[in-house]
Chain A
Amino acid sequence: MATAVVAYTVAAGRTVGFNPSTFWQVWSNPLWEKFWPIPWDWVLDRHNVIEPLIETFQIAIVSTILGCGLALPVALAMSPLTSPNRVVLVVTRSIMNVVRAVPDLFWAKLLVTAVGIGAFAGSWALSVFSLAVMVKLFSEAVDGADPRPLEAARAAGGRHMPVVRTGVLPTVLPEYVAYGLYVFELNIRASLVLGLVGAGGIGRVVEAQRQYFRFDRVLGVLVIVFVVVFVIEQVSVAIRKRLV
């Protein structure tokens, strides 16, 4: 067993070109100097970084609303507690499993091919991503909801939709909003990598400057993005604490 693992590691290492000396080569590569110093006047110029960053926010807002809006009925259909019947439950579960099995950037690339390069494709891709994440998080909240109000509403003779709306929805709504904020946070992060496949937002700046070999600018953009992500995370954590 151990020999097989070692043999595989050696074989795999050979395929990917692993060699302990490459660590030193990477470390001492003179190209690192191209990452420094960060050209701050370029980075802080409106057209270069701020406008794509605004586009990133726009993509993230639209796809959070769209993805989370769709996730509400899907998650309710996926939970044994609130699903209208067994067929709907099994079908939605299998569809969501397939959606999740495809990596998010594959989705982005497919949608870019389908609807053209730009923020429009990015919003679609991130909507799919938000849907997948939100359904996963929120359906767990629904599964864990208190079944007693639901049973009471059912015992009183309520039909399915009103029962779910009055029996389950109020108890899980704070979690829904909290997870929605969380998905928004994730979308801001994800849009950084989406641009690498042509789906708009701040990532397209990274991709363009990478192709011009302006790595100092790439680093500058990354620094700005991490600052923004950090600030949003702090705000979102503060709001989430008050909600749940």
Chain B
Amino acid sequence: MEAYPSGDDRPVAPRRAGRRWGLAALVVVAVVWSISGLEVTIDRLLNAPGDAWDVFRRMAPPAFSEAIDRGVPGKVLESVHIAWIGTMIGAVISLPLAFLAAGNVSPAWIRTPVRQLFNVIRAVPELILAVILIPITGLGSWAGALAIGIHSVGTLGKWATEAIEGVDPGPLEAVAATGGRWASSMRWGVLPQVLPVVTSQWLFRFEINVRASTVLGMIGAGGVGSELVSQLVFRNFAAVGAVLIMTIAVVMAIDTASAAVRQRIIRGGTQPGGPDVDDEDRNAAVLADLTGLPTGGPSSGS
């Protein structure tokens, strides 16, 4: 009769408390050192929540009529245009590259550099691209569209590559059996299979790009961001509130509409019920975009 399990089932020895305290001390030291560098005074710290709340309080009621007079709706639409053109640039450049990056249709010597290119592009945020591009293109929406377009190549290329790698090899073999060249097998064997998925990826990227382009305006790359900055500089908080609400409304409307279209593309129009707007999915893609952590895209999961 054994009261305890024998052999390998022995319970794990408890962690040494010393190590835990050491780690905790390290964190405390790091935090104290950091706070010492941030010009924090007790006074500032205590006032900050009040100051922040004050700004939000003064946004109500939002000055919609003033915002409309200043042409904010047009600026919001400009942001949407920038995002659309950026997505188109990204789509047109990334699709051919994705064929070169896919493992099943492209040799290793060309696949590896193209994939590295996607990774490098994804590592540079749109805002940094815009900072580099603005002196070249001048201030304005073209800088924003180009920055978004270049950045989109990275993610769109990666997603499209994954889509191409998942195709059914049957049609490819059929084209090869009739003596077709590589280009024809891509055109007739692969493209029809991946086009629905890739189109929905473009739309998904468009949704992300709308968010990005609203921010790009803050550094002068066109769109609604500049309006937010100038109203904040004038401390015209009622107008800021209106700008924020209009931006969020348009972003959410586009998310909903685009998600509905994506769902029709992927699953067809037969599904009952309203559009399934998967907000988590979109944020996950933004995160994956920032770090390369595989937290899903439109092609993974649903």
| Interface residue ranges, A against B (CB under 8 Å) | 8-9, 11-13, 15-18, 22, 26, 29, 31-32, 34-35, 54-55, 57-59, 61-62, 65, 97, 100-106, 109-111, 113-115, 118-120, 123-124, 133, 136-137, 140, 182, 185-186, 189, 192-193, 196-197, 200, 206, 210, 213, 215, 218-219, 222, 226, 229, 233
Counted as pairs of residues, one from A and one from B, with CB atoms less than 8 Å apart, the total is 164
Q: Is the CB of A97 within 8 A of B142?
A: no
Residue among B84, B247, B290 with max Cβ neighbours from chain A (10 Å)? B84
On chain B, the residues within 8 Å of A210 by CB distance are 131, 134-135
Given A16-B222, A182-B293, A206 and B37 contact (CB-CB distance below 8 Å): no
Rounded to whole angstroms, the CA-CA distance of A82 and B294 in the bound complex is 27
Residues of chain A lying within 8 A (CB to CB) of residue B117:
none
Docked CA distance A105–B212 (Å): 10
Q: Known: A9-B88, A54-B37. Is A133-B142 also a contact (CB below 8 A)?
A: no
Taking a contact as CB atoms under 8 Å apart, the answer to whether A59 and B279 are in contact is: no
Q: Which residues of B contact A233 (CB under 8 A)?
A: 291
Say yes or no: B291 contacts A110, CB within 8 Å: no
Confirm or deny: B27 has a beta carbon within 8 angstroms of a beta carbon on chain A. yes
Bound form: Cα–Cα A196–B54 in Å: 24
Bound form: Cα–Cα A113–B137 in Å: 29
Taking CB atoms, residues of chain A closer than 8 Å to B145 are 16, 18
Chain B interfacial positions (CB closer than 8 Å to A)? 27, 30-31, 33-35, 37-40, 44, 47-48, 51-52, 54-56, 78, 80-82, 84-85, 88, 123, 125, 127-128, 131-137, 140-142, 144-146, 211, 214-215, 218-219, 222, 225, 228-229, 232, 235, 240, 244, 247-248, 251-252, 279-280, 283-284, 287, 290-291, 293
Q: Is the CB of B34 within 8 A of A58?
A: yes
Chain A residues near B146 (CB, 8 Å)?
Answer: 26
Q: State in angstroms the CA–CA spacing of A57 and B33 once bound together.
A: 10
Rounded to whole Å, the gap between the CB of A185 and the closest CB of chain B is 7
Given A26-B137, A124-B48, A213-B135: A101 in contact with B38 (beta carbons within 8 A) = no
Q: List 15 A-B contacts (CB under 8 A).
A: A13-B88, A15-B81, A18-B85, A22-B137, A58-B33, A61-B30, A61-B33, A103-B214, A110-B52, A113-B55, A120-B38, A124-B52, A133-B287, A218-B132, A233-B291
Do B218 and A196 have beta carbons less than 8 Å apart? yes
Select from chain A the residue with minimum beta-carbon distance to B41: A120
In the complex, what residue of chain A is closest to B210 when comparing beta carbons?
Answer: A103
Query: Across the interface, which residues of B come within 8 angstroms of A113, CB to CB?
Result: 55, 232, 235
Residues of A within 8 A of B293 (CB): 182
Q: Please indicate the chain B residues that have their CB under 8 angstroms from the CB of A206 in the complex.
A: 128, 131
Which A residues are CB-close (under 8 A) to B215? 103-106
Residues of B within 8 A of A9 (CB): 84-85, 88
Identify the 8 closest CB pairs spanning chains A and B, nearest first. A58-B34, A12-B81, A16-B141, A58-B37, A61-B34, A17-B142, A114-B55, A114-B52
